[in-house]
Amino acid sequence: MTLRAIIADDEPLARERVRMFLADEPGLELVAECAEGAATVRAVEQHRPDLLFLDVQMPRLDGFEVLEALPTEALPVVIFTTAHDQHAIRAFEVNAVDYLLKPYTQDRFKQAVQRARRQLQARPHPGGDPALQALLAHLRASPDSGPRLLVKSPDRILFLKPQELDYIAADGNYVQLHAGKEHYMIRETMAALEERLGPAGFLRISRSTLVNLGRIRELKPLGAGEYCVLLQNGTRLAMTCPLRELQERLGRI
């Protein structure tokens, strides 16, 4: 059985090194090379490789963001490559995920490939790798990462931090993310976003609107005990949640 591999690294010499070592490995076919994260996501989705040599530090999306951008069923066996990234190395070791520390030898490369072959033989569906899933869970739980929203389009992939958003509005089976003058559409439910972003300072002020509490400038009375929310950029949002709930949340930030 021939295994299909992709190399993802922004350094040409690093890609050349992997390519050279792969040439000595029987039963491995190189199907793509990528120099940045967004291209890697597209290549993996297109080629569905068995094995991915993935640099941790790349432009646009780093190695971890590449994995977060991929659907679970598209995840190959991953061998990370990194240059003295101690944070990444600790995460790999805790979750038993293989990595190559640059500069690595051909013997160490062969060990990593042999381990990847064993992983592939043990499970027919690469996306089910428990070690890789544990690594992603570990990274998402890191205090430094926090919740981020993935926005994919044909020409780019964005990871938006909650503090970049003004508010989120429901739109059928999608939601619109409003960040300054930019608007992004993603397929997600308001209930799921409310759960994810509530701890990050968001409140659902109506059935169709989640607002970044840090963007609120004032409340405008509409009469009969009703209010609307005025954001710092002048946007007005209808409010149906209890006034006390909003006041309590604003008092905590």
Beta-sheet pairing, 99-101 with 77-82: parallel
CATH number at residue 246: 2.40.50.1020
Place of tokens 């490939």: 113
Look at residues 118, 140, 162 and tell me which one is the last residue of a structural domain.
140
Torsion of CA 109, 71, 69, 185, to 10 degrees: 170
Residues 213 and 245 reside in one and the same domain: yes
pLDDT tops 90 at residue 140: no
Residues 91 and 18 reside in one and the same domain: yes
Q: What is the pTM of this model?
A: 0.69
The one-letter amino acid at 28: L
Residues 135 and 18 reside in one and the same domain: yes
Beta-sheet pairing, 3-8 with 51-55: parallel
pLDDT tops 60 at residue 123: yes
Quick one: pLDDT at residue 106? 96
Residues 12 and 105 reside in one and the same domain: yes
pLDDT tens figures, 148-195: 788 887 677 788 888 999 999 999 889 999 999 999 999 889 998 998
Which of 75-79, 84-88, 156-160 bottoms out in mean pLDDT, i.e. has the lowest? 84-88
138 dihedral zone (left: phi>0; alpha: psi -120 to 50; beta)? alpha
Backbone Cα Rg of the chain? 22
The one-letter amino acid at 220: K
Domain of residue 114 covers 3-140
Helices (H), the chain: 12-23, 37-47, 63-69, 86-94, 106-122, 130-140, 190-197, 243-250
Look at residues 140, 158, 189 and tell me which one is the last residue of a structural domain.
140
